[in-house]
Amino acid sequence: MALPKNLRNGFAPTEVEFLAESDMITIVPLHKMDALQLINGTYGPFRPPLKQEVPLWLAMTLKQKHKCQIQAPDWMDVDFLKTKLDEETANPEFSPMPFRFMEIAHLLLGCASDDIPQAETVRTLLKDLREARQSKARKGLQGLDPHYLQVDNMGLMEINEIRPFFSKAFNELRMLEPERTVGDSQTTASGMMSMS
Amino acid sequence: MLAGSLSPSPDDDDHMDTGPTIGTATDSTFTFSLNDDNDEDDTTYFNDDIRSLTQWWINERCAPELLMYQADLVESLMEMMEAQAGIIESKSSDTPDSAFLVVLYQQEMERIKFIIRSYLRTRLAKIQRHTLHILREAEYRSRLSIDEIMFAEKYQELLAHHFQKFALEELPDYLQRLDDTTENLTMVSRPDLEDAVFCRIKEQIGVFQLESSDEAIEMRPNNIYFLRYNAIRRLMEDGKVDLV
């Protein structure tokens, strides 16, 4: 078929990472290089040691060729992540993290761990954070009703992980609900809206 | 299955056809200068088409129904890639440095091609699933590109012919239809617009009344909701929420 079955209910983890590779990141070039006129825009010129903002995929390729150092994002910091972890375990809500933090962390720890201060500790803290958040997501399932669920501050990777199970559960609950409006769901417009 | 011959095979990924005509949809002017050694060169520009198409790809992947074909975006990106490919070709790659630059340019193009391919395939999968419904409803028909309409019609024709030949012609006339309906059952498969989706709010929306319950929710930027597609369908079309 045109789209493989495993891609029909959400994204593959590699696709989620692909999306994160378009996010911007700061690099310190190690070699002089002219500006790149990409379709997406102009990046550079690269003049060490002047910092540059580039898409993550570009940073990763440059890093692989030892042409740059990647500056770890502010949140990939031991102290910051420790505070986050405390916050995460103390509060019932998800604490705010960048939307693509898991993917970016995974990519950076994979290709540029030497540029991240205390990379191993960062890795462990992120893992703890992830587990704390995963258990919250599981608890969140109890709050599921066939109308809506607010999941603020969840990251894309986290959303994608719970998607198959949550949609199935949501749709089952929806079937169990007594019919509310009779009408053709194909043509009904969206819910009424009032501006506040 | 019969469909196999129509769907794009995974191997001819490099061959893309987005339409019979190459329009001039893009409004962004772009000048490329790979050979430029001048630092002060002022050709800095930024193009948002890739980001826009990426979001439409995500929307298409998450939405249960077929969305409007983003002809302008696809065409403008195809054009820019063609121009970029021409420039890369004219560019010598005899020194390691310039060869590396070419790799970077190609890498970006591969990323764009991936998005366009996956976008078109997602749409083809939906067309194959709800062919008859999409062809019959004017609203859905208008969301297809010319190539997609041709594909859908041909696909439906093959399917109907196949069913006819293999089984239906042996049955009594009144059992031969492919679009029979009884009171609340139809043979024409339709997308379930009440399907659950995740969405992220982009701009202030305010109090939003859910159709399916008496509850109203206040939608603020960056809120993420898990709800019925139908509820936020119009908001998504207006670009006020993104599916995620």
The model's pLDDT over A41-92, given as tens digits with 9 standing for 90+, comes to 999 899 999 999 999 999 999 999 999 999 999 999 999 999 999 999 999 9
Q: Which residue has the tokens 């509850």?
A: B215
Instruction: Return phi, psi of residue B197, to 5°.
Output: -135, 155
If 0-12 CB within 10 Å is exposed, 13-18 middle and 19+ buried, where does residue B226 land? buried
Tell me whether residue B213 is in a domain. Answer: no
Residues 3-32 of B with CB under 8 A from A: 3, 7-8, 30-32
CATH of domain A74-174: 1.20.58.1020
Which contiguous run of DSSP H or E holds residue B132? helix B131-136
Domain spans in chain A, listed from the N-terminal domain onward: 12-71, 74-174
Q: Between A196 and A132, whose confidence is greater?
A: A132
Residue A192 has pLDDT above 70, yes or no: no
Domain containing B147 equals: 22-191
A38, A94, A162, A172, best to mutate vs chain B, most B CBs in 10 Å: A38
**Within a domain: B102:** yes
Please give the tally of structural domains in chain B: 1
Per-residue model confidence (pLDDT) at position A180: 60
Chain A residue with CA closest to B121: the answer is A2
A66 part of contact set with chain B, CB < 8 Å? no
In a 10 Å sphere around its CB, with 0-12 CB exposed, 13-18 middle and 19+ buried, how is residue B19 labelled? middle
**Residues A100-131 as b or e (16 or more Cβ within 10 Å = b):** bbbbbbbbbbebbeebbeebeebbebbeebbe
Angle between helices A156-176 and A119-140 (to 10 degrees): 10
- Residue contact B107–A61, C-beta within 8 A: yes
Measured N-to-C along each axis, helices A119-140 and A101-111 cross at an angle, to the nearest 10 degrees, of: 150
3-state SS track over A177-193: CCCCCCCCCCCCCCCCE
pLDDT (tens, 9 = 90+) of chain B, 244 residues, equals: 333 333 444 444 444 444 333 333 444 444 444 444 444 455 678 899 999 999 999 999 999 999 999 999 999 999 999 999 999 988 877 788 888 999 999 999 999 999 999 999 999 999 999 999 999 999 999 999 999 999 999 999 999 999 999 999 999 988 888 888 877 788 888 999 999 999 999 999 999 998 888 889 999 999 999 999 999 999 999 999 999 9
Contact A192 B209 (CB under 8 A): yes
Chain B residues touching A37 at Cβ < 8 A: 31-34, 43
Q: Does a structural domain hold residue B66?
A: yes
A12-71 shares its CATH topology with A74-174: no
Assess if residue B238 is contained within a domain.
Answer: no
Q: From chain A, pick out residues whose CB is under 8 angstroms from the CB of B112.
A: 39
Q: Does 3.40.605.10 match the CATH number of domain A12-71?
A: no
pLDDT at residue number B16 = 41
Sheet holding A24-29, edge to edge: A52-55, A24-29, A68-70
ipTM of this predicted structure: 0.88
- CATH number for the domain spanning B128: value is 1.20.58.1030
| Backbone angles phi and psi of B181, in degrees to 5 | -130, 140
State the angle between helix axes of B49-62 and B96-129 in degrees (0 to 180), rounded to the nearest 10. Answer: 30
User: B217 lies in a domain?
Assistant: no
